[in-house]
């Protein structure tokens, strides 16, 4: 079973996305906040991280960058979610594997998640 770490301060979105991922056979750990993304990733060892870009007091892009810069976690795929499309232009610094604009189609997101975990090309 593939493990997904889901980080978002929108509790309704966490619940909906967590339920959808569980329905499609993923083990899901959710959190609305973390001060130490690297410890969380090291302990949980997810196959994929999904993080909101803008959360109160936290930047999901910086979390992604921290994951991608550490040797032991750099190969874990990261998807950044954001309601702010303009964020896409600045993502080059973060190294995410996929950017998904909110709102999104849950079926399409699940399909892309499966592709990323299987390491097959994802059409954006």
Which pLDDT tens digit goes with each residue over 61-120?
A: 999 999 999 999 999 999 999 887 776 666 566 889 998 988 999 999 999 999 999 887
pLDDT score recorded for residue 7? 97
Indicate the pLDDT class of residue 23, thresholds 50, 70 and 90. very high
What proportions of the chain, in percent to the nearest 5, are helix, strand and coil? 40, 25, 35
Q: For the domain with range 3-117, which CATH number is right: 3.75.10.10, 1.20.120.160, 3.20.20.140, 3.40.50.2300?
A: 3.40.50.2300
> Can you give the pLDDT at residue 91?
58
* Cα–Cα–Cα angle for 56, 58, 61, rounded to 5 degrees: 130
- Dihedrals phi, psi of 56, to nearest 5 degrees: -65, 115
What is the pLDDT at residue 115? 94
pLDDT for position 41: 97
Q: Check whether 124 has a pLDDT greater than 60.
A: no
Q: Helix 106-117 vs helix 11-23: angle between axes, to the nearest 10 degrees?
A: 60
Q: What is the mean pLDDT of the chain?
A: 90
pLDDT mean over 29-56? 93
The model's pLDDT over 100-116, given as tens digits with 9 standing for 90+, comes to 988 999 999 999 999 99
């Amino acid at each position: 079973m593939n493990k997904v770490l889901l980080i978002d301060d929108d509790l309704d979105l966490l619940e909906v996305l967590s339920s959808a991922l569980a329905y499609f056979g993923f083990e899901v750990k959710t959190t609305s906040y973390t001060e130490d993304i690297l410890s969380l990733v090291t302990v949980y060892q997810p196959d994929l991280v999904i993080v909101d870009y803008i959360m109160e007091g936290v930047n999901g892009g910086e979390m992604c960058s921290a994951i991608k810069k550490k040797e032991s976690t750099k190969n874990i795929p990261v998807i950044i979610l954001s309601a702010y499309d303009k964020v896409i232009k600045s993502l080059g610094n973060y190294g995410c594997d996929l950017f998904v604009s909110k709102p999104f189609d849950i079926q399409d997101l699940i399909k892309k998640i499966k592709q990323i975990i299987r390491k097959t090309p994802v059409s954006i």
